[in-house]
Amino acid sequence: MVTAEIKKVGLIGGGVIGGGWAARCALQGIDVVVFDGDPQARRKLDEVLANARRAHRALTSVSVKREGTVRVVADLEEACAGVDFIQESLPEREALKIELLSRGSHAARPDVLIASSTSGLLPSRLQSSMENPERFMVAHPFNPVYLMPLVEICPGKQTSEESCERAAAFYRSMGMKPLRVRKEIDAFIADRLMEALWREALWLVHDDIATVEEIDDAIRYGPGLRWALMGSFLVYRLGGGEAGMRHFLEQFGPSLQWPWTKLTEVPTFDQALIEKIAAQSDAQAAGRSIRELERIRDDGLVAVIKGLKSLDWGAGNLLAEYENAKHAKRS
């Protein structure tokens, strides 16, 4: 089966991430069948879809003739039989994922690729009870899946190279950026980086050095602006001035020994710390609902990606390539 034939996708779990996958697929004209145990799943999916349509319209003039249908079912086998691709987005519980992935793999056609959205579990363990485990891999997306291009692809010990290539081609056809993880590790690449920042941020709140809002300001008015453009290493290269990266490393390398950060320690997550963070976060949200905040986030992401498109750079370059491919297919 070639990638172009993926017309129907089965989703195991339709929460924050499963809902994002449903929207990403439906806006490409792909039909979706979602298995989810939550009685509120239909309402939540409809709300995510409404936000996704709005963001997609603002992002690109590429549109499909017919949006894919999104059907919610209460039976796992129904979501896996008769589909061309399966994406699992259940809660981060290894035993649950292993069990449902195994059942799903028995219900699916043997050639159907199966991917897990897990943020950190190892693919070799997740594929351990599957039928045809060579077609399974982790494909770790970012929230909101309908706008964020990155999907980290991490194969397990039994995964075939061909499966990874076919999955990457499928995600690419939906405007995403598949990034292959070279070795199987917990939490892959981006979550490791985010966890390092998150650990340090928790200490800053714990020690009353900054509130959650002040920490977010430190990111969004500062390094966060550069991260979207250049990541970490290219930014530091510029930080070294004309002498470049070599000078930067000589200048700042020694500070790693001092050390400035507390990365290897974790503050105790007692009730007091949880209350402190939750209360500061409520104040920061200033009464805005999750859906409102999602729309602000989406509008910002659209603006950044379109800005980068005008520079033919990074995530904007990817959008331009996606639009060109879609327009070429039509003409």
Ligand X SMILES: NC(=O)c1ccc[n+]([C@@H]2O[C@H](COP(=O)([O-])OP(=O)(O)OC[C@H]3O[C@@H](n4cnc5c(N)ncnc54)[C@H](O)[C@@H]3O)[C@@H](O)[C@H]2O)c1
Tell me which residues touch ligand X (CB under 6 A): 13-18, 35-38, 41, 89-92, 96, 117-119, 140-143
Q: Which residue lies nearer to ligand X by CB, 28 or 119?
A: 119
Q: Which residue is nearest to ligand X (CB)?
A: 15
Q: Which is nearer to ligand X, 189 or 235 (CB)?
A: 189
Least distance CB 71 / ligand X (angstroms): 15
* Measured distance CA(11)–CA(208) in Å, rounded: 42
The pair phi, psi for residue 86, each rounded to 5°, is -125, 135
Distances (CA, A) of 110 to 1, 29, 166: 11, 24, 14
What string of DSSP letters covers 260-310?
Answer: S--TT------HHHHHHHHHHHHHHHTT--HHHHHHHHHHHHHHHHHHHHH
Which of 119, 309 has the CB closer to ligand X? Answer: 119
State in angstroms the smallest separation of the CB of 251 from ligand X: 35
Whole-angstrom distance, CA of residue 284 vs CA of residue 74: 38
Shortest CB 118 distance to ligand X, Å: 4
What is the nearest approach in angstroms of ligand X to the Cβ of residue 65? 29
**Nearest-approach distance from CB 49 to ligand X, in angstroms:** 15
Nearest to ligand X of 39, 259 (CB atom): 39
Nearer to ligand X, 30 or 34 (CB): 34
Tell me, what DSSP letter sits at residue 32?
Answer: E
Q: How far is the CB of 76 from ligand X (least distance, A)?
A: 7
Compare residues 145 and 248 and give the one whose CB is closer to ligand X.
145
How close are the terminal C-alpha atoms of the chain, in Å?
25
The nearest distance, CB 186 to ligand X, in angstroms, is 12
Least distance in Å: CB of 96 to ligand X? 6
Q: Which is nearer to ligand X, 170 or 248 (CB)?
A: 170
**Interatomic CA distance for residues 270 and 290, integer angstroms:** 25
Which residues on adjacent β-strands are paired with residue 155?
137
Full DSSP string of 308-325: HHHTT-HHHHHHHHHHHH
Distance of CA 34 to the CA centre of its chain: 18
Containing H/E element for 70? strand 70-73
Helix (H, G, I), strand (E, B) or coil at 180: strand
- 5: tokens are 């034939």
Which CB sits closer to ligand X, 37 or 231? 37
**13 φ/ψ sector (left φ>0, alpha ψ -120 to 50, else beta):** left
